[in-house]
């Protein structure tokens, strides 16, 4: 890149973003978007033409993991290493990509510069685990043995889709019904946009006149892509796991093409296509609403939808649809019938507590901010959902943007704030897009901006995109980041409610908290408080994933037991395995054994048991999951995400990880368990923010409930067969000599001997698990 | 507002930190990352105190005093907690306080400083450094087994610095003209008897004379030197060498009473009556002899304190092989000095003086890539073999070449480093949280006055704040995050660009040896 070009581009970016210190993150994001990395010349030029110092630029750009100092390949491969993906083998998938791409040590881009490989903490598609995303294409259920295919598939699709236009116009005429299709990230990842394209094409070709409604997350992530057909006189029909090639058949079974010629043509094409796809397995399943005990009714039946009200019915950015479903009523009620104090009291009486994890009473927080007498106050929606294995915020932001905005507006009215900010993590592009769209509509409709709905109350809202730092979910770190600083939490007091963004009183609530507000105002505090337990009111949204039959996004009343979530909503454990534990609360939470499954979902009950409500990730584990490995997994995550300020967190978590690795490698001694426990307790006491204080939870809870597994590792074996350094693959006499394993083994550890029992050379084996996966007779065992 | 600190009520203004509040009533709380006048953003957690009402630990440097608080600043639990914080800091602190050669020298001689002075062509000054700990450098320059050379970081790479021969050459330069050998100006009027004229006795005499005391050395042999004369053959230690160094001590004022066997009787009648203190250095750990003097035996030899070298009888000290047989001569020499200092203290105050070795950070073997970093301050030269062989020793030119190979492993802030200070005070163990992979040492030396060693940094960020506040154009910054966060220079600039005007302030503020002045520290000969 030539220097004048850099100067010109940087100049334009700065002109757009401003020269002040707090523009640093957006400027760097734009520079990376423009150059694919951060060229030093560009950064130096920023320092020259803005108030931002070289020290700040370096400090910021090396703190947030979004930023790169080296150009990446043409396509980014993101291997999700979220919890659900981890328990389903994402580490092996990552290694398989490294082998396939022939990456040298410490290198992440192949020699031709086509692909760059990276790990992401969670793509929020937990029900499709393990998930890999290449640019915008998501591949679910990826296994190490098919990474080669995936790369080839991606490149072919890329080549073929160039310039192709797909139109989806529907001719005017009688509307025969409505087809709903979910377009949340999971749905899209599972192929729903292909289904949608196919649907539009079919409708255009057949001239069938039905309304296609794109709805937000349908929550039933385990059944996606899902097509919902609403036809007058017919009961609601769901098509789960539908594939693009099956769309035509489904549509034609419900609707008639218009015009005789069309009907014939359709039949002809249909016949032709059927011939072509003959023998193609019908993967979809059809469920009707009146059917009892279908997976759908079990999944949805017991949930209470407050944050997810009107789930799957309203198009995310459809303000009319939102209004029809009761949207903005709460805001109007506040603005025209209630005083700010009444609003705060209503929220306080509802018993609503922060859904971000710690459960601080929302009413109390609002009251603190309301009590401050300052001209400027802020409302921040914390959408920096970073827990691996949690995607509630993403789903809410993508699906119910207006509900969250309404919650923020009410908070602003109640506390006397006029500035709102969405803090959304960088990994959620669709959420950012939807909120941006919703804000534009809201401004147009007079619900955001000056003199809202003629009430005299003004409130503006902007978006800040996070740059990749889990710790920024902590409120003081989040504020630091918005102010253009490194995301380092600061000591509280002062609390943000007193001294927050730019030194002003600030309400920071989690996305889910805001999404509950309008319901409370509309239905009254009593209605909300009547749901749940004495200490925990209302509902909680969970991202249910892992080894359950049916994962997805669920909203259950507080007090609901873990067992009911796993067994009834989740349909129990997949395969013939057993329910061993749940990991609840992500890296701040803990692992609870199946024996505690009757524990209710309740802030205090979970904390007492050594877990935490957290933001709502709920990963179900079976006996193939090693608890030492799980503890190690979470600790690696937090250790990697520590901001590096407090010594106990910065070095302490690393030393805990050292100890865990020693144990996992079979080199542990019994005393290590005491050292681990002691250090964990000190880190909890000696860290200043929530990240450090809760980082030891996964260790402490597994030590508490699964100490025997640690002891087994110290004696040199991993009961679940997970910990690579101490396991061994073998082939039993069941082997039929089909040579599949020998052909696929990437390290040539299995000699090719047709019709003989195969043998694994332990010296060469890299424990990639491929042989076990390809074996048709389950002859490969792990010891 | 009012609060309670260590059960004392204290009245403070709003906004005052707990640390400041404690200071008002004379309670000092340790801290490293805190510096008055700067933003306190606690990171080292050494200043943690306990909030008794809420049963939690809080960093006193930044936590504001609140009405009615009940704070405890010192207790076994708090002490253990601070110790753990220090141990975590130490587990990530890669560097030597004292160089490994000095640490492994029984006399704890400041070898790197000696090397640097020789390399700079100042052997006389080097000799002062040697004589601070070693009374017999010439003799030891022939016979010392040199544990220092085994420990030298270069030994695993291209051969250790030839420390023993370098030490010898400092003393070969007409030692009698050296001012060190003159008796101290102020005479104490006190008289010390030394029994035995071997390495321990000679060493004790040397330091006692320096301190102004009168010394009478008793020995049953015709000539002084003990095993140096009677056990070590001539081809290892030429007699002229021995005589020369003993003559030096005689010139300082030592009186040698030879052929003078001290037995039970003469010990009581002569020594105990006519001397203010006695130092026993007979070289024999035999039970009978010790009991004859009315003293006790311990596990190996005479029963004596290993810190102040006093026997259970006040005023009687013991050192050398009496304590344990077949010690290295250099250890006897070191003990002779320690016994002398202790006796001196006894003569002045009635109490012996214990020596306590300070805390020492260490990191094990130097890696090849680290060696390259160290070479920035040294030379890539093979170990110099003396042209005249070992007995001939170095010529001055050879010595300068060899001394230049020293890597300057010693820290430049050994006495001002807070980490070292508190590690010692709290008895922290660096190895408690040992890690399989330690960070690799790097050195930035581009600045004229400052050297930066990031692996010694505790990430307090004081320097980052100083460079920002004082308007450095480049300044320092945090780089990275979490465990890997380090302090560095933005873009591809060097430390020279970063510290154009704040070098001195930053060095002063840095709580460890990470940022340090390049200039040699002042030397105190005594």
pLDDT 10s digits, A404-424: 999 999 999 999 999 999 999
Under CATH, domain B100-175+366-403 is a member of which superfamily? Alpha-helical ferredoxin (1.10.1060.10)
Asked whether the predicted pLDDT for residue A44 surpasses 80, the reply is yes
- Contact flag A686-B488 (C-beta cutoff 8 Å): no
Token pair recorded at residue A782: 């792990």
**Chain A residue with the nearest C-alpha to that of B81:** A682
The mean of the pLDDT values for chain B is 94
**Chain B residue with the nearest C-alpha to that of A56:** B477
pLDDT at A725: 87
In the DSSP assignment, the letter for residue B385 is P
Distance CA B97, CA B93 (A): 10
The model's pLDDT over A245-268, given as tens digits with 9 standing for 90+, comes to 777 877 777 776 665 444 444 433
The model's pLDDT over A487-522, given as tens digits with 9 standing for 90+, comes to 999 999 899 999 999 999 999 999 999 999 999 999
- The more confidently predicted of residues A189 and A55 is A55
| A682 part of contact set with chain B, CB < 8 Å | yes
Query: Checking phi first, is residue B447 left (phi over 0); if not, alpha (psi -120 to 50) or beta?
Result: beta
* Interface residue of B62, B483, B497 to substitute, partner A, most A CBs within 10 Å: B483
- Contact flag B481-A58 (C-beta cutoff 8 Å): no
Q: Which residues of A touch B478 (CB under 8 A)?
A: 58-59, 62-63, 486, 644
Confidence category of residue B76, pLDDT binned at 50, 70, 90? very high
Token pair recorded at residue B485: 């966060």
Q: Which of B88, B435, B483 sits opposite A642 (nearest CB)?
A: B483
| A654 part of contact set with chain B, CB < 8 Å | yes
- Contact flag B479-A648 (C-beta cutoff 8 Å): no
A177: closest CA of chain B, how far (Å): 55
The model's pLDDT over A622-667, given as tens digits with 9 standing for 90+, comes to 999 999 999 999 999 999 999 999 999 999 999 999 999 999 999 9
Q: Which residues of A touch B59 (CB under 8 A)?
A: 491, 688
Distance CA A606, CA A612 (A): 5
Label residues A365-392 b or e (16+ Cβ within 10 Å = b): bbbbbbebeeeebbbbbbbbbbbbbbbb
Q: Spell out which chain B residues touch chain A, with contact meaning CB-CB distance below 8 angstroms.
A: 41-45, 48, 56-57, 59, 62-64, 81, 84-85, 88-89, 91-92, 433, 435-436, 458-459, 464, 467-468, 473-485, 488, 490-493
Distance CA A506, CA A515 (A): 18
B376: closest CA of chain A, how far (Å): 26
First-to-last C-alpha distance (Å) of chain A: 54
When pLDDT is averaged across residues A546-566 and rounded to a whole number, the result is 90
Confidence category of residue A302, pLDDT binned at 50, 70, 90? confident
pLDDT at B502: 96
Q: Which residues of A touch B49 (CB under 8 A)?
A: none
pLDDT at B294: 84
Label residues B143-171 b or e (16+ Cβ within 10 Å = b): bbebbbbebbbbbebebbbbbbbbbbbbb
- Contact flag A55-B89 (C-beta cutoff 8 Å): no
The CATH T-level fold of domain B419-517 is Alpha-Beta Plaits (3.30.70)
| A477 part of contact set with chain B, CB < 8 Å | no
When pLDDT is averaged across residues A54-78 and rounded to a whole number, the result is 93
pLDDT at A274: 29
When pLDDT is averaged across residues A577-589 and rounded to a whole number, the result is 92
- Contact flag B483-A639 (C-beta cutoff 8 Å): yes
pLDDT at A259: 55
Q: Which residues of B touch A679 (CB under 8 A)?
A: 84, 433
| A121 part of contact set with chain B, CB < 8 Å | no
**Distance from CA of residue A168 to its chain's centroid?**
30
- The more confidently predicted of residues A457 and A70 is A457
Chain A residues 321-340 within an 8 A CB cutoff of chain B: none
Q: What is the pTM of this model?
A: 0.89
Distance CA A255, CA A251 (A): 6
Confidence category of residue B484, pLDDT binned at 50, 70, 90? very high
| A369 part of contact set with chain B, CB < 8 Å | no
Q: Which residues of B touch A662 (CB under 8 A)?
A: 436
pLDDT at B178: 54
**Chain B residue with the nearest C-alpha to that of A468:** B481
CATH number of the structural domain B187-225+243-349:
3.50.50.60
When pLDDT is averaged across residues B119-125 and rounded to a whole number, the result is 93
When pLDDT is averaged across residues A773-777 and rounded to a whole number, the result is 89
Confidence category of residue A192, pLDDT binned at 50, 70, 90? confident
Token pair recorded at residue B498: 């970063």
A136 forms bridges with which residues in the sheet? none
Token pair recorded at residue A300: 């949805």
Label residues B26-36 b or e (16+ Cβ within 10 Å = b): ebebbbbbbbe
Give the start-end residues of each E strand in A129-177: 132-134, 137-139
A65: closest CA of chain B, how far (Å): 9
**Chain B residue with the nearest C-alpha to that of A638:** B482
The model's pLDDT over A130-150, given as tens digits with 9 standing for 90+, comes to 888 888 777 888 888 888 888
In the DSSP assignment, the letter for residue A464 is E
Q: Are A26 and A34 in contact (CB under 8 A)?
A: no
- Say how many CB pairs under 8 Å bridge A and B: 128
pLDDT at A171: 33
- Contact flag A640-B482 (C-beta cutoff 8 Å): yes
**Chain A residue with the nearest C-alpha to that of B56:** A685
Residue that has been written with the tokens 């029909």 in this structure: A237
Distance CA B199, CA B219 (A): 12
The mean of the pLDDT values for chain A is 87
When pLDDT is averaged across residues B288-308 and rounded to a whole number, the result is 87
* Interface residue of A488, A494, A651, A653 to substitute, partner B, most B CBs within 10 Å: A651
Q: Which of A58, A651, A685 sits opposite B91 (nearest CB)?
A: A651
Asked whether the predicted pLDDT for residue A276 surpasses 90, the reply is no
Asked whether the predicted pLDDT for residue A166 surpasses 70, the reply is no
In the DSSP assignment, the letter for residue A651 is I
| A655 part of contact set with chain B, CB < 8 Å | yes
Q: C-alpha distances in angstroms, A673 versus A677, A692, A769?
A: 6, 20, 30
The model's pLDDT over B162-174, given as tens digits with 9 standing for 90+, comes to 999 999 999 986 5
pLDDT at A167: 30
- Contact flag A59-B478 (C-beta cutoff 8 Å): yes
When pLDDT is averaged across residues A337-354 and rounded to a whole number, the result is 97
The interaxial angle of helices A697-705 and A627-641, nearest 10 deg, is 170
Token pair recorded at residue A284: 């979809």
Asked whether the predicted pLDDT for residue A582 surpasses 70, the reply is yes
When pLDDT is averaged across residues B122-133 and rounded to a whole number, the result is 93
ipTM of the complex model = 0.92
B488: closest CA of chain A, how far (Å): 9
Token pair recorded at residue B123: 């052997």
The model's pLDDT over B258-285, given as tens digits with 9 standing for 90+, comes to 999 998 888 888 888 899 999 999 998 8
**Chain A residue with the nearest C-alpha to that of B477:** A55
Confidence category of residue B28, pLDDT binned at 50, 70, 90? very high
| A370 part of contact set with chain B, CB < 8 Å | no
Q: Which of B436, B467, B478 sits opposite A658 (nearest CB)?
A: B436
Asked whether the predicted pLDDT for residue B122 surpasses 70, the reply is yes
Q: Which residues of B touch A56 (CB under 8 A)?
A: 477
Confidence category of residue A198, pLDDT binned at 50, 70, 90? confident
| A55 part of contact set with chain B, CB < 8 Å | yes
Q: Which of B43, B56, B477 sits opposite A646 (nearest CB)?
A: B43
Q: Which residues of B touch A54 (CB under 8 A)?
A: 473-475, 477, 490-491, 493
B377: closest CA of chain A, how far (Å): 28
- Contact flag A642-B492 (C-beta cutoff 8 Å): no
Query: Checking phi first, is residue A69 left (phi over 0); if not, alpha (psi -120 to 50) or beta?
Result: alpha
- Contact flag A641-B56 (C-beta cutoff 8 Å): no
pLDDT at B153: 97
The interaxial angle of helices B199-210 and B329-349, nearest 10 deg, is 40
CATH number of the structural domain B2-74:
3.10.20.740
Q: Could you state, in order of their start, the residue ranges of all structural domains in chain B? A: 2-74, 100-175+366-403, 187-225+243-349, 419-517
pLDDT at A438: 97
Asked whether the predicted pLDDT for residue A34 surpasses 90, the reply is yes
When pLDDT is averaged across residues B353-379 and rounded to a whole number, the result is 94
Q: Which residues of B touch A470 (CB under 8 A)?
A: none
* Interface residue of B69, B88, B476 to substitute, partner A, most A CBs within 10 Å: B88
């Amino acid at each position: 890149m030539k220097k004048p070009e850099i100067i010109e581009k940087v100049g334009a970016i700065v002109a757009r973003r401003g020269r002040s210190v707090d523009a640093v993150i957006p400027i760097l994001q734009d520079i990376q978007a423009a150059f694919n990395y951060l060229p030093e010349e560009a950064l130096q030029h920023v320092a020259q033409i803005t108030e931002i110092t070289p020290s700040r630029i370096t400090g910021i750009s090396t703190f947030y993991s979004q930023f790169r100092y080296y150009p990446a390949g043409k396509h980014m491969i993101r291997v999700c290493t979220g919890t659900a993906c981890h328990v389903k083998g994402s580490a092996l998938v990552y290694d398989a990509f490294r082998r396939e791409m022939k990456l040298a040590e410490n290198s992440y881009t192949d020699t031709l510069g086509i692909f760059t490989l990276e790990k992401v903490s969670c793509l929020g598609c937990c029900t499709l685990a393990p998930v890999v995303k290449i640019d915008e294409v998501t591949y679910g259920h990826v296994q190490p043995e098919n990474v080669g295919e995936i790369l080839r598939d991606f490149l072919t699709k890329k080549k073929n889709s160039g310039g192709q236009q797909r139109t989806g116009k529907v001719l005017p005429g009688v509307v025969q019904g409505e087809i709903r299709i979910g377009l949340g990230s999971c749905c899209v990842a599972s192929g729903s946009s292909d289904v949608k394209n196919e649907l539009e094409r079919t409708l255009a070709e057949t001239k069938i006149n039905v309304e296609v409604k794109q709805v937000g997350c349908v929550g039933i992530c385990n059944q996606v892509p899902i097509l919902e057909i609403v036809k007058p006189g017919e009961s609601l029909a769901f098509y789960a796991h539908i594939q693009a090639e099956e769309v035509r058949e489904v549509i034609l079974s419900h609707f008639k093409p218009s015009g005789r010629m069309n009907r014939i043509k359709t039949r002809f094409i249909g016949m032709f296509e059927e011939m072509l796809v003959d023998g193609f397995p019908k993967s979809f399943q059809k469920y009707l609403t009146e059917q009892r005990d279908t997976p759908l009714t079990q999944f949805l039946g017991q949930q209470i939808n407050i944050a997810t009200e009107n789930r799957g019915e309203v198009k995310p950015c459809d303000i009319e649809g939102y209004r029809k479903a009761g949207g903005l009523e709460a805001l109007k009620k506040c603005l025209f019938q209630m005083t700010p104090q009444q609003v705060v009291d209503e929220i306080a009486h509802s018993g609503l507590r922060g859904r971000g994890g710690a459960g601080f009473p929302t009413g109390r927080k609002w009251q603190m901010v309301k009590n401050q007498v300052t001209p400027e106050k802020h409302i921040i929606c914390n959408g920096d959902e970073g827990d691996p294995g949690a995607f509630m915020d993403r789903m809410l932001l993508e699906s119910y943007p207006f509900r969250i905005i309404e919650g923020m507006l009410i908070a602003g009215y109640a506390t006397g704030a006029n500035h709102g900010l969405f803090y959304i993590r960088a990994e959620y592009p669709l959420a950012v897009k939807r909120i941006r769209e919703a804000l534009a509509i809201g401004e147009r409709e007079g619900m955001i901006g000056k003199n809202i709905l003629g009430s005299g109350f003004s409130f503006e809202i902007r978006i800040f995109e996070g740059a990749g730092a889990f710790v920024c979910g902590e409120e003081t770190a989040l504020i630091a980041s918005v102010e253009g600083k490194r995301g380092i939490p600061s000591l509280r007091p002062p609390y943000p409610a007193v001294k927050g963004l730019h030194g002003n009183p600030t309400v920071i609530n989690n996305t889910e908290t805001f999404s509950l507000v309008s319901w409370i105002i509309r239905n009254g505090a009593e209605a909300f408080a009547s749901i749940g337990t004495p200490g925990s009111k209302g509902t909680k949204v969970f991202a249910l994933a892992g080894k359950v039959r049916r994962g997805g996004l669920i909203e259950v009343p507080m007090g609901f037991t873990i067992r009911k979530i796993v067994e009834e909503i989740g349909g129990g454990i997949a395969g013939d395995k057993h329910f061993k534990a749940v990991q609840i609360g992500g890296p701040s939470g803990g692992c609870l054994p199946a024996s505690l499954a009757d524990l209710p979902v309740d802030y205090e009950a979970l904390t007492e048991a050594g877990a935490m409500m957290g933001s709502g990730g709920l990963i179900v584990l079976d006996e193939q999951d090693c608890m030492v490995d799980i503890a190690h997994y979470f600790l690696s995550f937090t250790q990697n995400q520590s901001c590096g300020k407090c010594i106990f967190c910065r070095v302490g978590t690393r030393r805990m990880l050292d100890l865990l690795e020693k144990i996992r490698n079979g080199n542990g001694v019994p005393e290590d368990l005491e050292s681990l426990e002691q250090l964990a307790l000190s880190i909890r006491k000696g860290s200043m923010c929530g990240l450090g204080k809760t980082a030891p939870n996964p260790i402490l809870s597994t030590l508490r409930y699964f100490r025997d597994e640690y002891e087994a590792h110290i004696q040199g074996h991993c009961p679940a067969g997970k910990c690579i350094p101490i396991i061994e693959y073998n082939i039993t006499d069941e082997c039929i000599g089909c040579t599949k394993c020998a052909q696929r083994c990437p390290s040539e550890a299995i000699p090719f001997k047709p019709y003989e029992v195969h043998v694994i050379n332990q010296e060469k084996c890299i424990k990639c698990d491929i042989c076990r996966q390809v074996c048709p007779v389950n002859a490969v065992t792990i010891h | 507002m009012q609060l309670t600190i260590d059960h004392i009520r204290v009245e403070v203004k709003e906004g005052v930190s707990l640390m400041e509040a404690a200071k008002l009533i004379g309670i000092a709380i340790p801290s490293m990352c805190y510096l008055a006048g700067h933003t306190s953003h606690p990171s080292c957690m050494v200043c943690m105190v306990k909030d008794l009402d809420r049963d939690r630990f809080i960093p006193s440097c930044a936590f504001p005093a609140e009405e009615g608080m009940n704070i405890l600043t010192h207790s076994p639990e708090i002490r253990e907690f601070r110790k753990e914080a220090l141990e975590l800091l130490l587990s990530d602190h890669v560097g030597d306080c004292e160089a490994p050669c000095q640490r492994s020298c029984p006399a704890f001689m400041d070898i790197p400083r000696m090397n640097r002075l020789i390399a700079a062509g100042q052997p006389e000054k080097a000799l002062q450094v040697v004589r601070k700990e070693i009374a017999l450098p010439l003799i030891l320059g022939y016979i010392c087994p040199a544990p220092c050379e085994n420990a030298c970081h270069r030994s695993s790479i291209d051969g250790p610095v030839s420390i023993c021969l370098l030490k010898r050459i400092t003393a070969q330069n007409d030692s009698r003209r050296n001012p060190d050998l003159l008796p101290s100006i102020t005479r104490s009027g006190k008289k010390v008897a030394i029994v035995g004229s071997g390495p321990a006795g000679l060493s004790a005499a040397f330091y006692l004379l320096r301190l102004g005391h009168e010394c009478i050395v008793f020995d049953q042999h015709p000539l002084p030197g003990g095993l140096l004369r009677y056990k070590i053959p001539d081809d290892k230690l030429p007699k002229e060498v021995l005589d020369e160094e003993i003559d030096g001590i005689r010139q300082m004022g030592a009186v040698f009473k030879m052929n003078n066997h001290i037995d039970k009787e003469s010990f009581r009648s002569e020594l105990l009556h006519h001397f203010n203190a006695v130092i026993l250095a007979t070289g024999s750990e035999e039970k009978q002899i010790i009991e004859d003097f009315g003293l006790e035996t311990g596990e190996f030899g005479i029963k004596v304190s290993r810190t102040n070298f006093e026997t259970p009888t006040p005023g009687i000290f013991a050192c050398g092989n009496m304590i344990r047989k077949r010690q290295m001569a250099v250890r006897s020499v070191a003990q002779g000095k320690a016994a002398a200092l202790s006796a001196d203290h006894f003569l002045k105050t009635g109490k012996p003086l214990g020596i306590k070795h300070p805390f020492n950070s260490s990191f094990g073997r130097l890696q090849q890539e680290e060696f390259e970093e160290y070479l920035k301050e040294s030379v890539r030269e093979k170990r110099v073999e003396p042209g005249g062989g070992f007995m001939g020793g170095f010529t001055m030119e050879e010595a300068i070449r060899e001394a230049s190979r020293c890597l300057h492993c010693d820290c430049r802030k050994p006495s001002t480093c807070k980490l070292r200070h508190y590690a010692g005070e709290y008895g922290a163990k660096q190895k408690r949280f040992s890690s399989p992979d330690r960070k690799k040492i790097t050195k930035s030396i581009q600045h004229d006055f400052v050297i930066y060693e990031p692996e010694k940094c505790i990430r307090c960020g004081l320097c980052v704040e100083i460079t920002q506040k004082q308007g450095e154009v480049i300044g320092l910054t945090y780089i990275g995050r979490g465990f890997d966060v380090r302090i560095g220079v933005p873009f591809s600039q060097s430390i020279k660009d970063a510290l154009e005007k704040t070098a001195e302030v930053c060095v002063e503020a840095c709580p460890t040896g990470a940022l340090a002045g390049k200039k040699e520290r002042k030397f105190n000969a005594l």
